[in-house]
Copies of this chain bind each other. A is one copy, B any other.
Amino acid sequence: MEPIIIVHGGAGDIPQSRVQGKLNGVKASVAAGQQILAQGGSALDAVEAAVVLMEKDEYFNAGYGSVLNLSGEVEMEASIMCGKNLDVGAVTLIKDFSHPISIAHKVLTNSPHSLLGGEGAKIFALGMGFSTVPPESLISENAKNALNDFLKHGEFGRTEIGIKDEGGVGTVGAVAVDCNCHVAVATSTGGMSGKAVGRIGDTPQIGSGTYADDNIGGVSTTGHGESILKYCLAHSIIKLMESGNDANTATKIAVDGMTNRLNNTAGAITLSKTGDVGINFSSNRMAWAYIKSNKIFYGIEKNEVHEEEYVSEKPSCK
A231 is an interface residue with CB less than 8 A from chain B: yes
A172 is an interface residue with CB less than 8 A from chain B: no
Contact of A115 among B85, B112, B123, B200 (CB under 8 A): B200
Given contacts A87-B230, A112-B226, A226-B114, contact A120 B199 (CB under 8 A): yes
Category for how many chain A residues contact B: 35 or more
Which residues of the partner chain B approach A199 to less than 8 Å between Cβ atoms? 113, 115-116, 120
A206 is an interface residue with CB less than 8 A from chain B: yes
Which residues of the partner chain B approach A236 to less than 8 Å between Cβ atoms? 235, 239
Cα–Cα, bound, A226→B229 (Å): 18
Contact B226 A113 (CB under 8 A): yes
A76 CB to nearest chain B CB (Å) = 13
Contact of A229 among B114, B120, B200 (CB under 8 A): B114
A205 is an interface residue with CB less than 8 A from chain B: yes
A305 is an interface residue with CB less than 8 A from chain B: no
Copies of this chain in the oligomer: 2
Closest to A127 in B: B196
A198 is an interface residue with CB less than 8 A from chain B: yes
A86 is an interface residue with CB less than 8 A from chain B: yes
A298 is an interface residue with CB less than 8 A from chain B: no
Which residues of the partner chain B approach A118 to less than 8 Å between Cβ atoms? 93, 117-119, 198
Cα–Cα, bound, A124→B198 (Å): 9
Task: List residues 70-110 of chain A with CB under 8 A from any CB of chain B.
Answer: 81, 85-88, 92-93
Contact A232 B206 (CB under 8 A): yes
Which residues of the partner chain B approach A197 to less than 8 Å between Cβ atoms? 119-120, 123
Cα–Cα, bound, A168→B229 (Å): 28
Cα–Cα, bound, A262→B213 (Å): 13
Which residues of the partner chain B approach A310 to less than 8 Å between Cβ atoms? none
A298 CB to nearest chain B CB (Å) = 30
Contact B93 A261 (CB under 8 A): no
Interface residues of A (CB under 8 A from B): 81, 85-88, 92-93, 111-124, 156-157, 195-201, 204-208, 211, 225-226, 229-232, 235-236, 239, 243, 261-262
Give me 25 A-to-B residue pairs in the complex whose CB atoms sit less than 8 angstroms apart, sorted by A's number.
A81-B230, A87-B230, A92-B117, A112-B157, A113-B226, A114-B229, A114-B230, A115-B199, A115-B200, A115-B205, A115-B229, A116-B198, A117-B117, A119-B198, A120-B197, A120-B198, A120-B199, A124-B198, A205-B206, A206-B208, A206-B230, A207-B208, A207-B229, A236-B239, A243-B243
- 12 further A-B pairs in the complex, CB-CB below 8 A; given A113-B156, A117-B200, A206-B229: A93-B118, A113-B195, A113-B196, A114-B225, A114-B226, A115-B229, A119-B198, A120-B196, A200-B204, A205-B205, A206-B208, A207-B208
